[in-house]
Chain A
Amino acid sequence: MTVTQEQAAPEQRRHVMQVRKRDGDTEPVDVNKIVKAVERWVADLDEVDPLRVATKTISGLYDGATTAELDKLSIQTAAELIGTEPQYSKLAARLLAAYVDKEVRGQQVASFSQSIRYAHGLGLIGDDTAAFVARHARKLDDAVDPDGDLRFEYFGLRTVADRYLLRHPQTRLVVETPQYWLLRVACGLSRTPAEAIGFYRLMSSLAYLPSSPTLFNSGTRHTQMSSCFLVDSPRDELDSIYERYHQVAKLSKFSGGIGISWSRVRGRGALIRGTNGRSNGIVPFLKTLDAGVAAVNQGGRRKGAACVYLEPWHPDVEEFLELRDNTGEESRRTHNLNLANWIPDEFMRRVEADGDWSLIDPSDAPELPDLFGEAFDEAYRAAEKKAVRTVRARDLYGRMMRTLAQTGNGWMTFKDAANRLSNQTGAPGNTIHLSNLCTEILEVNNDAETAVCNLGSVNLGAHVTADGVDWEKLRATVRTAVVFLDRVIDINYYPAEQAAASNPRWRPVGLGLMGLQDAFFTLRLPFDSAQARELSTRVQEEILLTALETSAGLAARFGPHPAYAETRAAQGRLHPDLWGVEPTQVRRWADLRAAVATHGLRNSLLVAIAPTATIASIAGCYECIEPQVSNLFKRETMSGEFLQVNTYLVGELKARGLWTAPIREQIKRAEGSVQGITELPADVRELFRTAWELPQRALIDLAAARAPYIDQSQSLNLFLSAPTIGKLSSMYRYAWKSGLKTTYYLRSRPATRIQQATVALAPAVTPLVTVADDEALACSLENPESCEACQ
């Protein structure tokens, strides 16, 4: 095929467009060259049209552009076609990989070991890792999988290229390819080349990924690889409060997400004996924390983030709930802090009974934050006679619900379930005081110990075929994952002494899960079906069981973690026992018990389901345990905007000859819903419901069913298009009753939306979807502007 520039764009015949090459020379734009560059990558992509990408690229170019601009534009052009044909995502990713490769090779780096040597010289790589790689250069260089990049989707690789690959400190050019990056991460945590190569292959297959701090920092000079820090409330004194600011800043600097309690600090109007003045309460202090968090930028890669936890008996709780409002006095607003309620059961019981609720100043009852269960109930009731104020429990609960609806924040997390059902609270005096930034970590801490957790997630989608789960592969993945999560604890750099004091004692890790929705799509299970719930529960049992087995194995070699004697496992009670459930793999659990009785456990906690926002994109799967948010949606990140299409749906539509422009437009107009596509059978539409279309009860039921096999917790988002106080209060009470330890964001939709700029005008105002049995669904999805049902 020979197509010249003139033929492709006749109006430009008079002047052939020129591009400037990297060496400074100019040459005419040649469509054939672009077609060839594209054709290299499309062997397995039968729906991709290289000429289309080439001509569209040229039409977007201007005379005198550089070849680098041309390359970038061809990537962008391919990416823009994803909405019509998802295969262009792979193409865009491969063009990007080629671009990155060129950039790396341009710095005289031709192999993995050269990349490490070069980056070490630039001060980016740690000495140990540099020496390890130099020692085993040949083996490691040979291990790089040349086809590894073919597995990436565009959004995932774009994220990797923009934020994960190491860059030259001055030129800002990337100094490693995506595969070098994963091998570098593996080498940073390995003792032998065989170990490193095994771990690299697992990550490169995208079946498992450690969390971002590990992916950022493993093998570098700053090996801070933990995701989460849980800081106890400052003591009720100025020095302690300012020490916490300092600690938070240090933790934030190295990519950690921070949870910090504030329940011990006295409320507004409380007496300050030293000066005989009255306290201004917690809000001004939180305002300072807010500014501090915003100021610390996580190595330039993302802004710091923190979540403040408060117990609802604190006298400033109402002002706390207003901290993220976008109206009112700015000096009492904290736009950078996330907020969470740390709720004792007694509060929920009073809400149910429509009783009173006493607000008590912590300076009058300093013991409350350290108590849970009956001991808390007794102490709280005794302290009520010192109450600063009494409110109706339901009024306060209603305010919490309003905050959730208006800001998505003010997460509901349950103190008693968190403590009662934890391995770490086996000895008196050990209390969990809060969760973390994403509400999946629950670990004991205190004034001198800041809890730490490092995370990683199994991509379940990569362990499932239409025939079912590959259990042996899943076990193998979990075994490798636990070993390397445990390894982080020893190699990790701790930015604060309080963190260094806690982590080696408890050695907790958080192995999570992502791609649950992929597994359900592959197996064609509707998210709210009984089979889906059963599968999710069995997968979680397998993960916890294998993780415990691996940890017991590590204990046999290296001894139990130092605080093992203080755990419930030391008393013979494993996590499912705390819930009183009967696991299915009876034999293995019995063997495990025997092993734990002999050797103990290397890790006090093993499983936590994190949101996986970024690593799921890298792996190209749906986030953690979440249902899909939409069949067609846009992701906004620091790297730009990206269209995401449900490829399972596209496959289904193609098979039925329905992947057409009108259907695509219909899906877009319905904001990613397929419920109006009547050509699809009911069961298919049921399978492809979005989070907004699923009963939230089902999400809670699934979470509750798997919870006995999660020894920490799960980041559970809930979705209501048009939240009302009534719906929210019913939903969160149900979540509490179901025994969940934590919930995460409440997701809702804007009241009105931007007028769509590119879809054709809807014919008159006929509703696109006629959903008869669920008016809330119909109103919120189709015409959020004029829904009367929920006003």
Chain B
Amino acid sequence: MTTVSESPTDAGTGQRQMLLDPGMDLTLRPMRYPRFFDRFKDAIKNTWTVEEVDLHSDLADLAKLSPAEQHLVSRLVAFFATGDTIVANNLVLNLYQHVNSPEGRLYLSRQLFEEAVHVQFYLNLLDTYVPDERKRFEAFAAVENIPSIARKAEFCFKWIDSIFELRELRTRADRRAFLLNLICFAACIEGLFFYGAFAYVYFLRSRGVLHGLASGTNWVFRDESMHMAFAFDVVDTVRAEEPELFDAELEQQVRDMLAEAVECEVQFAADLLEQGVSGLPLADMREYLRHVADRRLAMLGIEPMYGAQNPFAFMELQDVQELSNFFERRVSAYQVGVTGSVSFDDDF
């Protein structure tokens, strides 16, 4: 893996140019952050489209679920209905503006496309799952009328708004505010809220139901993993360029933010699981979320807060290579963007 590149001096002014310096850098050569460009290329290889996800068996499964499980699913898809849109908004309104690297912005453009595909996927999903138009509109308005989702949305909006007024990152305080926004979206929203949601999906899949939801979510999950990894690359880059931004105060702010995110997600879990779902106790969900939060802290080089272990065996299943049988489901492992030319003496 490439390490963060040394910041070159700007040819014109002789000043050190840094990632968060205000501006609209347009020059790709010499490339200052080839790692970002690699991420961009890798993301393209993972292209998928909503049409590839087959939801045909989900409707029959939905009918088979217990009322408690149906409640879980309806809450979950209501969250999905708006989750990716919020992330996309922050990307456009905040991140794109301040990450001053053309290759970084290439990645963000790609990410924006992926968020749009996710939005389309969950749109398609809700249209399929909720045939009744009135109920469907309610689901899409979850941010307003379901308290447990509204609470999460408020948390997101708070952090979008926190830097909305910033046009340029001039001061140390500006940059720290930006970092907190970035870390919030990477660690708390994509890295915790979505990871929480994925856990419910994979729980259902481990029970053999809702394959359409699971296979689309699998691809969403793969994309989100990349988004998070890119955001942490940006954090690492800034840390290398401006280590003085990272002090005990920032660490404490990150911890507080994650703690609040865990709280938001736990109250969401309490809502989802209120009727009792066998195999998914609230206590385990809380433990899982704390475990994920600890991992996010570790990725940021901060000591874990909870010392929690993952209690879900079905999440371990997500970490191992998949093997599908084509009679069963579409294999999600193929690559887009293969290179090279015909030859007869390559090693294989």
Chain A residues in the interface with B (C-beta under 8 A): 59-65, 69-70, 72-73, 76, 80-81, 83, 162, 257, 294, 302-303, 305, 326-327, 330, 333, 335, 338, 351-352, 394, 397-398, 401-402, 405-408, 613-614, 629-630, 632-643, 668, 671-672, 695-697, 720, 722-731, 733-734, 745, 747-759, 761, 765, 776, 783, 785-786, 791
Contact = CB atoms under 8 A, between A and B. Distances in A.
Given A76-B279, A634-B321, A636-B205, 6 more contacts: A70-B278, A405-B334, A635-B325, A729-B343, A752-B46, A756-B319
B341 A725 contact: yes
A758 B276 contact: no
B323 interface: yes
Contacts of A326: 47-49, 51-52, 336
A302 B327 CA distance: 7
A755 B335 contact: no
A723 B335 contact: yes
B332 A397 contact: no
A-B residue pairs, 10 tightest by C-beta:
A62-B276, A80-B313, A640-B208, A751-B45, A724-B340, A725-B340, A755-B225, A405-B338, A613-B325, A731-B348
**In this complex, which of B51, B225, B226, B327 has the most chain A Cβ atoms within 10 angstroms of its Cβ?**
B327
B327 A724 contact: no
Contact of A724 (B45, B48, B314, B338): B338
A711 B292 CA distance: 55
A725 B339 CA distance: 6
Contacts of B209: 640
A753 B225 contact: yes
Given A398-B342, A730-B346, A754 B218 contact: yes
B323 A634 contact: yes
B39 to A, nearest CB: 8
A62 B278 contact: yes
B206 to A, nearest CB: 5
Contacts of B46: 750-752
B278 A60 contact: yes
Nearest to B228: A755
Contact of A641 (B49, B206, B336, B342): B206
B327 A303 contact: yes
Contact of B324 (A294, A636, A756): A636
B331 interface: yes
B43 A752 contact: yes
Nearest to B38: A786
Q: Which interface residue of B206, B225, B283, B322 has the most chain A CB atoms within 10 A?
A: B322
Q: How large is the interface on B (under 10, 10 to 19, 20 to 34, 35 or more residues)?
A: 35 or more
B314 A641 contact: yes
Interface in B221-257: 221-222, 225-226, 228-229
B284 interface: yes
B342 A83 contact: no
Contacts of B329: 636-638
Given A81-B313, A305-B327, A640-B205, A633 B278 contact: no
Contacts of A338: 326
A72 B327 CA distance: 26
A786 B205 CA distance: 31
B342 A761 contact: no
B46 to A, nearest CB: 5
B65 to A, nearest CB: 13
B319 A752 contact: no
Given A633-B321, A757-B195, A726 B346 contact: yes
B211 interface: yes
23 contacts: A59-B283, A65-B278, A294-B56, A303-B56, A305-B327, A327-B336, A629-B323, A632-B321, A643-B316, A643-B317, A697-B348, A720-B348, A726-B343, A727-B340, A729-B343, A730-B348, A750-B45, A750-B46, A750-B334, A752-B42, A752-B45, A756-B319, A758-B319
Contacts of B38: 785-786
A637 B324 contact: yes
A776 B344 contact: no
Contacts of B320: 630, 632-634, 643, 668, 671-672
A107 to B, nearest CB: 20
B53 to A, nearest CB: 10
A405 B42 CA distance: 15
A236 B319 CA distance: 50
A758 B310 contact: yes
B333 A749 contact: yes
A53 B207 CA distance: 18
Contact of A640 (B39, B48, B207): B207
Contacts of B150: none
A64 B222 contact: no
Contacts of B332: 750
Given A406-B336, A754-B222, A726 B278 contact: no
B51 A335 contact: yes
A637 B325 CA distance: 7
